[in-house]
Amino acid sequence: MSEEVSKRAEEEADTPDLEGQSDDSSDEGDASGDTEMDFLRSLFSRTLGLSPGDKVLDELTLDGVARYILSGKCKSIICMVGAGISTSAGIPDFRSPGTGLYANLQKYNLPYPEAIFQIDYFKKHPEPFFALARELYPGQFKPTVCHYFMRMLKDKGLLARCYSQNIDTLERVAGLEGEDLIEAHGTFHTSHCVSFLCRKEYSMDWMKTKIFSEDIPKCDSCGSLVKPDIVFFGENLPARFFASMKMDFPRCDLLIIMGTSLQVQPFASLVNRVSNSCPRLLINMEKTGQTEFGMGLLGFGGGMDFDSDKAYRDVAHLSTCDDGCMALAELLGWKAELEEMVKREHALIDNEDAKKKDKDASQSSKSTGAEAGKSDKTE
């Protein structure tokens, strides 16, 4: 009997006194829920590498970014750029309502706007792409303030690399060289035969002659189409893109994203490849690349986080790319230098264009004179 009493006493001692619980039991439940959510956050963060890093910027503003650059701690800057950095040069972006490229392709009678950059459609109907290429061909436009700001970063030894979605080659015209650039969506700089059995390479001058003579470029060797080395939908990105991103982004001290909607993968995912402590500055007309809903619920990012109470490294400066770069240059004490660079480089381009026009006019005059001479002899 005494054993039963003793056993019952032990059971009662181990059983929670539900009636005696205070009204703060709901608070304990909330605390338990918070603990479970913290555990989930920690688990996913460790698994996916999304745990918050150290706060590097003293404030999440353009001023804060400028102070960080001037501190000497920021030695490796990567720029990610899209079509928005070239709109002030007169080149339309892709997705702006009304003015974007995709909104103004009706004259090409495409089944849908993106078809003009679809490789399968191109192989069957190359005419629309080459007609568009005549309108947008590199060499007809000058680099913008934004392009020259990146050139200035290079000159000051701060630019690790520029990752560009653009095919207009204006980064090269502004003074960035092949080693400074990852042209993620390719370039007009070279062209190749589309036949896998051939793949003969052609120069930019060769392609330009074909495009402006309104000939559809065909391979001299096999007769297949020749396409500029820009990446169409349905094609792989350059191998150098993948090799370089693995090396560049973990070493990045500041990521500057300009003029891109961050909608095209895998380029858009590059924002997540920097370390969790690396500040990220967006200069754009609107916020983009923000954390996906599911990630936001769990309280950690992956995408950009400008506004939540957990934001600690992302800065959005809403303006044109040129205005944003000039504002940052002013905070850095570089404004006069940048303005002088733009003025000087544009003058050089104008002089080269004038020389080329004079040369073309001279050759045309000589050709006309030669034809007239032949005519006189004939008579």
pLDDT on residue 8: 45
Query: What's the pLDDT at 19?
Result: 37
How big is the chain by its Cα radius of gyration, in Å? Answer: 29
367 belongs to an annotated ligand binding site? no
Is 168 annotated in a binding site? The answer is: yes
Mean pLDDT, consecutive 10-residue stretches, the chain (379 aa), reads 46 40 43 51 49 85 98 97 92 63 68 86 90 77 96 98 92 94 89 94 92 90 94 87 95 97 89 95 94 46 82 96 98 98 94 73 59 55
Q: Which two tokens stand for residue 121?
A: 């459609």
User: What is residue 335's DSSP assignment?
Assistant: H
Q: What is the rounded CA–CA span in Å between residue 153 and residue 76?
A: 10
Is 83 labelled as part of a ligand binding site? yes
The answer on whether 146 is annotated among ligand-binding residues is no
Residue 115: predicted pLDDT = 87
What does the pLDDT read at residue 367? 56
How far apart, in whole angstroms, are the C-alpha atoms of residue 25 and residue 372?
104
Establish whether 256 is an annotated binding residue.
Answer: no
Q: Among all residues, which ones are annotated catalytic?
A: 185
- Contacts of 347 by beta carbon, 8 Å cutoff, 6+ apart: none
Whole-structure pTM over 0.85, yes or no?
A: no
Q: What is the pLDDT of residue 358?
A: 67
Is 95 labeled as ligand-binding?
Answer: yes
Other beta carbons within 10 Å of 206: 15
How many alpha carbons lie under 13 Å from residue 203 in its C-beta half-sphere? 3
The answer to whether residues 338 and 152 touch, using CB atoms and an 8 Å cutoff, is: yes
Rounded alpha-carbon distances, angstroms, from residue 292 to 113, 297, 306, 326: 27, 9, 13, 31
283 assigned binding-site residue: no
Q: Count CA atoms within 13 Å of residue 349 on its CB side.
A: 17
Report the alpha-carbon distance of residue 342 to residue 29 in Å, rounded.
63
